[in-house]
Structure 1
Amino acid sequence: MSAKPPEGQSPPADGTLPAAALAELPRHAFGIYIHVPYCATRCGYCDFNTYTAAELGGGASAATFATTASAEIRLAARVLGPGAPAVDTVFFGGGTPTLLPPADLAALVCAVDDAFGLRPGAEVTTEANPESVDAAALEQLRAAGLTRVSFGMQSARPHVLAALDRQHTPGRLPDVVDWARKAGFEQVSVDLIYGAPGESERDWAASLDAAVDLAPDHVSAYALTVEEGTKLARRVRRGELLETDDDQLADRYIQADETLQAAGLAAYEVSNWASGPEAWCRHNMGYWRGATWWGIGPGAHSHVGGVRWWNVRHPTEYTQRLRAGQSPAQARETVSPADRHVERVMLGVRLAEGLPVVELTPGGLAAVDDLVASGLADPAGLAAGRISLTRQGRLLTDTVVRALLPDL
Structure 2
Amino acid sequence: MEEKSLSYGVEQKKSTPYEVYVHVPFCLRRCGYCDFNTYTAVDLGGGVSRTSYADIVIREMNIVKRWQEEHNILEPPAHTVFFGGGTPTILPAHDLVRILHAIDQLWGIEQGAEITTEANPDTVDADYLKEIYDGGFNRVSFGMQSAVPHVLKTLDRTHDQENVISNIDVAKRIGLRSSIDLIYGTPGESLVDWKTSVRAALNLDIDHISAYALSLEPNTKMGRMIAAGKLEQPDDDDEAVKYEIADDMFESSGLSWYEVSNWSTPGNESQHNLGYWHNVDWAGLGPGAHSHYNKAKIRSWDIAHPKMWGNSIQNDEIPWADSEHIDDQMNIEEMAILGLRLRDGLNIEQFERAAGMKIPEVTLDELLREGLATLSHGHLIATRRGRLLNDSMISQILSAVGI
TM-score, normalised relative to structure 1: 0.90
Indicate the larger mover: 383-392 or 52-61.
52-61
Contact preservation (8 Å) 2:114, 2:272: yes
Cα deviation 1:44-90 (Å, max 9, x = unaligned): 00010000026837862111010000011111221222722111010
Cα deviation 1:114-169 (Å, max 9, x = unaligned): 11100101111000000010011101111111111100000001110111111111
Partner of 1:44: 32
Cα deviation 1:297-348 (Å, max 9, x = unaligned): 0111111122011111121221111111111111111011111111011111
Which of 282, 287, 291 is equivalent to 1:293?
Answer: 282
Query: 1:373 Cα deviation (Å)?
Result: 1.9
Question: What is the 5 A alignment of 1:8-407?
Answer: 28-53=16-41, 56=44, 60-81=48-69, 83-185=74-176, 187-276=177-266, 278-305=267-294, 306-358=297-349, 359-360=351-352, 361-363=357-359, 366-378=362-374, 382-406=375-399, 407=402
Measured on the aligned residues, the alpha-carbon RMSD in Å equals 1.5
TM-score, normalised relative to structure 2: 0.91
Residue 77 of structure 1 aligns to a residue whose secondary structure is: helix
Contact preservation (8 Å) 1:135, 1:183: no
Alpha carbons of 1:62 and 1:280: their partners in 2 closer, same or farther (altered >3 Å)?
same
Query: 1:366 Cα deviation (Å)?
Result: 3.9
Contact preservation (8 Å) 1:364, 1:405: no
Alpha-carbon distance in structure 2 between the residues aligned to 1:303 and 1:364: 31
Matched-pair identity in %: 43
Contact preservation (8 Å) 1:357, 1:365: no
Alpha-carbon distance in structure 2 between the residues aligned to 1:318 and 1:233: 28
Alpha-carbon distance in structure 1 between the residues aligned to 2:261 and 2:190: 20
Which residue identity does 1:392 align to in structure 2? R
Alpha-carbon distance in structure 2 between the residues aligned to 1:377 and 1:107: 46
Alpha-carbon distance in structure 1 between the residues aligned to 2:211 and 2:232: 20
Query: 1:27 Cα deviation (Å)?
Result: 5.0
Indicate the larger mover: 72-81 or 260-269.
72-81
Partner of 2:3: none
Query: 1:273 Cα deviation (Å)?
Result: 0.2
Alpha-carbon distance in structure 2 between the residues aligned to 1:216 and 1:209: 12
Query: 1:362 Cα deviation (Å)?
Result: 2.1
Alpha-carbon distance in structure 1 between the residues aligned to 2:387 and 2:242: 13
Residue 124 of structure 1 aligns to a residue whose secondary structure is: strand
Partner of 2:6: none
Contact preservation (8 Å) 1:59, 1:315: no
Query: 1:385 Cα deviation (Å)?
Result: 0.6
Alpha-carbon distance in structure 2 between the residues aligned to 1:202 and 1:28: 45
User: Could you list the runs of 5+ residues in structure 2 that have no partner in the other structure?
Assistant: 1-13
Residue 53 of structure 1 aligns to a residue whose secondary structure is: coil
Alpha-carbon distance in structure 1 between the residues aligned to 2:227 and 2:47: 32
Residue 225 of structure 1 aligns to a residue whose secondary structure is: coil
Query: 1:372 Cα deviation (Å)?
Result: 1.4
Alpha-carbon distance in structure 2 between the residues aligned to 1:365 and 1:297: 45
Partner of 1:20: none
Alpha-carbon distance in structure 1 between the residues aligned to 2:291 and 2:328: 18
Alpha-carbon distance in structure 2 between the residues aligned to 1:90 and 1:45: 26
Aligned residue pairs total 378
Cα deviation 1:348-379 (Å, max 9, x = unaligned): 1110011111113424554112211221112x
Which residue identity does 1:279 align to in structure 2? N
Which residue identity does 1:372 align to in structure 2? L
User: Could you list the runs of 5+ residues in structure 1 that have no partner in the other structure?
Assistant: 1-25
Which residue identity does 1:388 align to in structure 2? I
